[in-house]
Structure 1
Amino acid sequence: MESRKVRRVSVTLPALDEPGLYLSNVTSLEGGRGRVAEFQYADQDLRELDLAGAHLLDGRIQRVRTQRARLHEVRADSVQFSDCDLSSLTWSDSKLSRVTFSNCKIMGALFEDVALENVLFENCKFDYATLDRLRATGPVIFSKCTLREATIKACDLSAVAFDACDLRLAEFEGGKYRDCDLRGNDLSTLRGVAALKKVLIDRAQVAQLAEALASELEVTYGEDLDDD
């Protein structure tokens, strides 16, 4: 199986080009008994996407645009999302394994109580999104993603890798981040830096974290005061 590696984190990718695997075009993600397997779902412009209790297995979801999407108790195994606009998505109480998101807009989305294992987000926009109780139960990589003003709340992102991401004004509220690899990212405008205990950074990033903490504490610098 192919994999993608960022420093110490290696994600196993979906295996959709295996011999004998044929993906059939489908017009809906609602299958018999909630299961859709070996599928390709593409070029859809939807007002609403609503899935509950579904299992997506071995498939590609490409160029799907939706004004509103709600996915609840949806399991995805070996699935590729590419060039999708899933802004205002709500995805809850689910598990994703060997799933990739590439060039997707997921702005303003809510991920709540979702477990991730071997998941890659690449060139995705998470601006203003909320990640609430997201759990990395296996390797996860965010590569070249924007998470401007995203809220990351009570998540377990231990050993997750962020690579060349835009984290401007991203806010961390509690959670576990042991060995979360933040090297190669600008941390100077993060909020909630006290939550980032035991993360992995470069020494040069210490100054960035100090700048973020000073901004959060709203400190006043003595040299800026007129003492006369």
Structure 2
Amino acid sequence: MRTTTVGDLRILLPDLDPDDLDSTSEVTDDLSDATVENASWRGAELEGVRIRSSRITGADLSESTWEPGTLFGCEITRTDFSGATLSGVTIERCAVTGSRFTGTRLTDIRVKDVLFEGCRFDYATLTRITAAGAVAFVDCILTDATWSSCRLPNIVFRSCQLARLELDSCQLHGADLRGNSLHDLKTSLGNLHGITLNEDQLPDITHLAVTELNLTVQRR
């Protein structure tokens, strides 16, 4: 069993043996124990597709549609989901590295034991994303993204770019946001209830409070 730790969060990761994987470039309704390299699935309609215990590298899934589906025990590397629509997909025990979700629409997604590292989520729309276990974003770009009605308790962000990330009706209780600039977040304070910060981030929270409460701060 392979694990990694981000902050205080322990994440179960896929433990794949390349000798056990069969090479393919075709997507089927039940893709299992496969290695996929540089496949072009741009604009594909993936209805009910289940991908398990597989390694996907350099694939193009931009502008694709995937609903519903399952992604379990997979390593996803340098894969392009730009402009894709994912709905009703369960993502569990996966490591997603260096992949692009620019402008992607993710709706009703369930995540558990998932590590996103070095990924782009700029201009992405995440709606009703629910964490049922450990989830972390490390060195990710989330600028100008919109998260709505997401339930992500205990999620961890590390060294992420969050400028103009908009949070609406989200529940992040127990989330660890240490090591990120919160100054340009577009959110009410209610979305940040119960999060963990470090002292250096207190000015960012003060800025958000002054903006939300429309306070006038004067120098004597």
The residue identity in structure 2 corresponding to 1:122 is: E
Q: Against the structure 1 CA distance between its residues 36 and 46, is the aligned structure 2 distance closer, same or farther, given a 3 Å change threshold?
A: closer
* Structure 1 Cα separation of the partners of residues 22 and 112 of structure 2: 26
Question: In structure 1, the residue corresponding to 2:79 is in which secondary structure?
Answer: coil
The residue identity in structure 2 corresponding to 1:140 is: V
Deviation at 1:49, TM superposition (A): 2.2
Question: In structure 2, the residue corresponding to 1:45 is in which secondary structure?
Answer: coil
Deviation at 1:211, TM superposition (A): 1.4
C-alpha RMSD of the superposition: 1.8
Question: In structure 2, the residue corresponding to 1:156 is in which secondary structure?
Answer: coil
Deviation at 1:216, TM superposition (A): 4.8
The one of 193, 197, 200 equivalent to 1:197 is: 193
Question: In structure 2, the residue corresponding to 1:48 is in which secondary structure?
Answer: coil
Map 1:24-173 onto structure 2 (within 5 A): 24-30=22-28, 34-173=29-168
* Structure 1 Cα separation of the partners of residues 174 and 166 of structure 2: 18
**Residue in 2 aligned with 1:226?**
none
* Structure 2 Cα separation of the partners of residues 46 and 178 of structure 1: 37
The residue identity in structure 1 corresponding to 2:3 is: S
Say whether 1:182 aligns with 2:177.
yes
5+ residue gaps, structure 2, are: none
Deviation at 1:199, TM superposition (A): 0.9
The residue identity in structure 1 corresponding to 2:206 is: A
The residue identity in structure 2 corresponding to 1:102 is: T
Question: In structure 1, the residue corresponding to 2:37 is in which secondary structure?
Answer: strand
Deviation at 1:74, TM superposition (A): 0.8
Structure 1 residues 158-185: Cα deviation after superposition (integer angstroms, max 9, x where no partner) = 0110011000010110121110110111
**Alignment check: 8 A CA contact 1:168 1:190 kept:** yes
Structure 1 residues 63-95: Cα deviation after superposition (integer angstroms, max 9, x where no partner) = 012441111111111011101111012111121
Give percent identity, aligned residues only. Answer: 26
**Alignment check: 8 A CA contact 1:29 1:41 kept:** no
Structure 1 residues 137-175: Cα deviation after superposition (integer angstroms, max 9, x where no partner) = 000010000000111111111011001100001011012
TM-score by length of 2: 0.93
**Alignment check: 8 A CA contact 2:41 2:64 kept:** no
5+ residue gaps, structure 1, are: 224-228
User: As a proportion of its length, which structure holds more strand?
Assistant: 1
* Structure 2 Cα separation of the partners of residues 80 and 49 of structure 1: 20
* Structure 2 Cα separation of the partners of residues 86 and 131 of structure 1: 14
Deviation at 1:218, TM superposition (A): 5.6
**Residue in 2 aligned with 1:214?**
210
Deviation at 1:4, TM superposition (A): 1.5
* Structure 2 Cα separation of the partners of residues 187 and 193 of structure 1: 12
* Structure 2 Cα separation of the partners of residues 2 and 67 of structure 1: 30
Question: In structure 2, the residue corresponding to 1:68 is in which secondary structure?
Answer: coil
The residue identity in structure 1 corresponding to 2:147 is: I
* Structure 1 Cα separation of the partners of residues 210 and 44 of structure 2: 43
**Alignment check: 8 A CA contact 1:74 1:95 kept:** yes
* Structure 2 Cα separation of the partners of residues 54 and 43 of structure 1: 19
* Structure 2 Cα separation of the partners of residues 161 and 179 of structure 1: 9
* Structure 1 Cα separation of the partners of residues 137 and 84 of structure 2: 18
Deviation at 1:201, TM superposition (A): 1.0
Which protein has the larger Cα radius of gyration, Structure 1 or Structure 2?
Answer: 1
TM-score by length of 1: 0.90
**Alignment check: 8 A CA contact 1:191 1:216 kept:** no
**Alignment check: 8 A CA contact 2:54 2:75 kept:** yes
Structure 1 residues 179-221: Cα deviation after superposition (integer angstroms, max 9, x where no partner) = 0110111111111132111111113212111113334556554
* Structure 1 Cα separation of the partners of residues 166 and 160 of structure 2: 14
